[in-house]
Amino acid sequence: MNHYDAIIIGAGFSGLYQLHFLRENLGLNVKILETADNVGGTWFWNRYPGSRCDTESKAYTYYFSKELYEDWNWSERYPTQPEIEKYLNYVCDKLDLRKDIEFQTKVTDLIYDNERKTWTTLTNNKEKFSSKFIISAVGCLSYANMPVIPNKNKFQGEIYHTGDWPKIEPELANKNIGIIGTGSTGIQVIPEVAKLAKKLTVFQRTPNYSVPANNYKLTQNQKNQANIDFHKSKELMFQHRGGHPWTHSHISAKATEVTKRNALYEKAWANGGLSFRDTFSDLSIDADSNLTASQFIINKIKKIIKNPDTAAMLTDFDHPFGSKRPPIDTNYYETFNRKNVDLINIRKDPIKSFKTNGITTEKNDYELEVLIFATGFDALTGTLLNMNIIGDNNISLKNIWQTGPKTNLGLLVPNFPNLFLITGPGSPAVLTNMPRAIEQHVEWIGNCIKYMLKNDYDSIQTTVEAADDWTENVQEAVKDNFFLSAKHSWYLGGNIPGKPKIFIPYAGGLNKYREICDLVAQNDYRGCIFTKTT
């Protein structure tokens, strides 16, 4: 059995930086185990047509090394999946990480031995590793949600999930294609597939408020400016609750005179992107203010869509703006004006089953050669709970998280010594620009391990009390936010049948969260117990 100081699971943004940090700063012997045959994580699997990041390229990148930042040139305002995949390969090669990654290796079991203070890792290839530390870098959106539709094996067409898209691009041209799902992914894939398909049928359960991305190619001047602004952008992201490079608004929408308010919305709409939701300070907590944003977007959609029935379907919202992760788009609404695109309301006419050449709803039949599921993920806990993770005293993670995840800071789990979670449940994670949350976690974990080595500690474990307190804190932080009103949202586990309906990420802001984490570390990792073998 091969022994390592640390095993990291996953070779996406988190795993790559964690490997670099532990190897270069602490001189540890580290191995990444990765299911895919290359690096990329979410950007390896989500290679569907139109896949692109909603965060701007100048921000959706590592900031831990200025040299790494300056030596890479993004070509567009928002990076495409192929470009992010290339970027992560560039980082991997530049930092010489590949030699410490084992690809095509899926972790199936993690078992802790309290006497030896060691984890055993088992894989699908029947390999066995031992290590002092396990660091989960499995990503928040890595376990695809595939709805169960009866008679799937009868269907003679092709089925794809956007989160597990084949490396060899499927032939979609001139086919009858269906897409289920209109979240951030559906909104990206629909316009691209519409251009290829003979006919595209979109099966929508819930419409989403989408804002234009306003993507463009970056000029050399813009690239140079991003390099000049490196420290300024880093500081802005550091201060922002979501880790984005802009400042928070301090103006209330409802308190702003209507002409001025509309002018600010128009400006934000023309600018495009995720900053639209920061146009005013109270859109996520005040119903009247929120209504002004929803109404503005509804009016925009109705102006774009030619068919009033389609417009009505696309604006039949059951949740306030921003209560689900707001998507951004390129020609999403315009796509529904195409002659080859139909929109079907499956809330009114639910899908019943597959048939040999398509699917059947309660009232209709649809002939399809290809069906694409853009149905999202079992977010934040799905991948973790699909491994068999056994901690101290034979306690299984699956059992103790039956009623919802309990962590200290989203980083540590009681009874699971020396297991660290990067962007785990209970941390700001998916509510942020991910690379900022990832860098903060990688550095916190790395510094914690450094502290342990310095003090000759051989294990760290959070107390149950500290994890209970933090879990309460996570619920407290979201109680005034509209996030709780979108009952089917994946933030709440509402998209997965049987999943506990509990708000999972920490909504108090990455800036505040970072201060809390720093304080815990400065106070000798308050809430944690260390052991030392003498």
Residues 363-402 that bind ligand NAP (CB under 6 A): 374-377
If binding is defined by CB under 6 A, does position 184 make contact with ligand NAP? yes
Nearer to ligand NAP, 259 or 497 (CB): 497
Short-list 373, 332, 366, 367, CA closest to 349: 366
What string of DSSP letters covers 457-477?
Answer: --EEEE-HHHHHHHHHHHHHH
- C-alpha–C-alpha distance, residues 514 and 534, integer Å: 34
Residues 62-101 that bind ligand NAP (CB under 6 A): none
If binding is defined by CB under 6 A, does position 186 make contact with ligand NAP? yes
Residue 77 carries which DSSP code? S
Nearer to ligand NAP, 311 or 374 (CB): 374
Determine which residue in the list 61, 201, 206, 415 makes contact with ligand NAP, applying CB under 6 A.
Answer: 206
If binding is defined by CB under 6 A, does position 33 make contact with ligand NAP? no
Nearer to ligand NAP, 206 or 418 (CB): 206
Least distance in Å: CB of 331 to ligand NAP? 15
Determine which residue in the list 181, 242, 505, 508 makes contact with ligand NAP, applying CB under 6 A.
Answer: 181
Nearer to ligand NAP, 180 or 283 (CB): 180
- C-alpha–C-alpha distance, residues 195 and 6, integer Å: 47
**Of all helices (H) and strands (E), which one includes residue 288?**
helix 287-304
Note whether 144 and 164 are within 8 A (CB). Answer: yes
Least distance in Å: CB of 531 to ligand NAP? 38
- C-alpha–C-alpha distance, residues 389 and 112, integer Å: 8
Q: Is 409 exposed, middle or buried (0-12, 13-18, 19+ CB in 10 A)?
A: buried
Residues 339-368 that bind ligand NAP (CB under 6 A): 346
Least distance in Å: CB of 53 to ligand NAP? 4
Contacts of 27 (CB under 8 A, 6+ apart): none
Torsion of CA 238, 241, 245, 246, to 10 degrees: -120
If binding is defined by CB under 6 A, does position 205 make contact with ligand NAP? yes
Nearer to ligand NAP, 157 or 186 (CB): 186
SS3 18: helix
If binding is defined by CB under 6 A, does position 53 make contact with ligand NAP? yes
Note whether 177 and 203 are within 8 A (CB). Answer: no
Least distance in Å: CB of 508 to ligand NAP? 18
Q: Which amino acid is at 430?
A: V
Residue 247 carries which DSSP code? P
If binding is defined by CB under 6 A, does position 178 make contact with ligand NAP? no
Nearer to ligand NAP, 87 or 457 (CB): 87
Nearer to ligand NAP, 184 or 249 (CB): 184
- C-alpha–C-alpha distance, residues 497 and 360, integer Å: 22
Position with the least CB separation from ligand NAP: 183
Q: Give a three-class secondary structure readout of 342-363.
A: EEEECCCCCEEEEECCEEEECC
Task: Pull the structure tokens for residue 468.
Answer: 């209970």
Nearer to ligand NAP, 21 or 78 (CB): 78
Determine which residue in the list 120, 176, 182, 310 makes contact with ligand NAP, applying CB under 6 A.
Answer: 182
Residues 277-336 that bind ligand NAP (CB under 6 A): 325
Determine which residue in the list 72, 111, 147, 475 makes contact with ligand NAP, applying CB under 6 A.
Answer: 147
Nearer to ligand NAP, 325 or 499 (CB): 325
Nearer to ligand NAP, 54 or 439 (CB): 54
* Strand arrangement of the beta sheet that strand 351-355 belongs to: 351-355, 358-361, 365-367
Contacts of 73 (CB under 8 A, 6+ apart): 223
From residue 476 to residue 505, the character string flagging contacts with ligand NAP as x (rule: CB under 6 A) and all else as - is: ------------x-x----x----------
> Residue count at the site for ligand NAP (CB under 6 A)?
25
Instruction: Determine how many CB atoms are found less than 10 A away from the CB of residue 79.
Output: 23
SS3 139: coil
Determine which residue in the list 183, 404, 417, 426 makes contact with ligand NAP, applying CB under 6 A.
Answer: 183
Note whether 523 and 531 are within 8 A (CB). Answer: no
If binding is defined by CB under 6 A, does position 426 make contact with ligand NAP? no
Contacts of 502 (CB under 8 A, 6+ apart): 403, 404, 405, 475, 492, 493
Determine which residue in the list 54, 329, 369, 443 makes contact with ligand NAP, applying CB under 6 A.
Answer: 54
Least distance in Å: CB of 401 to ligand NAP? 20
Q: Which residues bind ligand NAP (CB under 6 A)?
A: 52-54, 141, 147, 180-186, 188, 205-206, 325, 346, 374-377, 430, 488, 490, 495
